[in-house]
A = this chain, B = another copy of it.
Amino acid sequence: MSGDTLRIDRSAKTLRTLALERMREAIMGFHFQPGERLVERPLCDQLGVSRSVVREVLRQLEAEGLVQMIPGHGPAVAKPDLGRTDEIYELRALLEGIAARACALTATDAQIASLDAALTNLLEAWASGAPVEVMRATTKFYETLFEAADKRIAWEIVTGLNVRINQLRSMTIASENRREPAIAEMTEIMDAIRSRKPDEAEEAARRHVESAWQIARNTLRLG
């Protein structure tokens, strides 16, 4: 990691907020490698802010699970918790399942229209072939889903879980032959919601997570 591509300039929001977002994006976008040390003073130079700001940002990222404090060595980019991936996928299946169910039960027509739009966007992202776009559109789709299901807390939790398996997720999406199944699964979720079938919606959502889980397992087994 070098250069000053991270440098922020002060304008609207607080420096801290800007720095936080910049760092979060940088870590999630793999501009830092998992396990890479985040030495405070170099970070100050790269971001162009003082240590106070950097340290507060690191505390926040630590609480979010993106940064780990290594005793005696300070902060480092959190390494994905491979021993916990099963639990994480299990929880995602559970949570996305209940959200899809609630959505099928209570979403307004307008909300379903938003979901449709988000799905269209997701299909376009798959067509574009850029994994980062697919990931963003997927996130957006689920955000809309949880919003329509009125499960704000559950959404926060899922977001937190995804942070921990960010690397795995991007590998899953980039894996060969993921496109068609993923599109089919998402379409099933959408269809079940549209036709107001809660059981089917929950099942479809769980299946989708479980199929991603399967791929993640394979990825881990290989290397």
- By a beta-carbon cutoff of 8 Å, the part of chain A in contact with chain B is 52, 55-56, 59-60, 62-64, 84, 87-88, 90-91, 94-95, 98, 150-154, 157, 160-161, 164
Contacts and interface: CB of A to CB of B under 8 A. Distances in A.
Given A52-B52, A55-B56, A56-B56, A153 B62 contact: no
Complex copy number for this chain: 2
11 contacts: A52-B55, A55-B56, A56-B56, A59-B59, A60-B60, A60-B63, A63-B64, A87-B152, A88-B153, A94-B94, A153-B164
A210 to B, nearest CB: 15
A154 B60 contact: no
A40 to B, nearest CB: 12
Contacts of A55: 52, 56
Nearest to A16: B59
A26 to B, nearest CB: 18
Nearest to A88: B153
Nearest to A98: B94
B151 A87 contact: yes
Contacts of A152: 84, 87
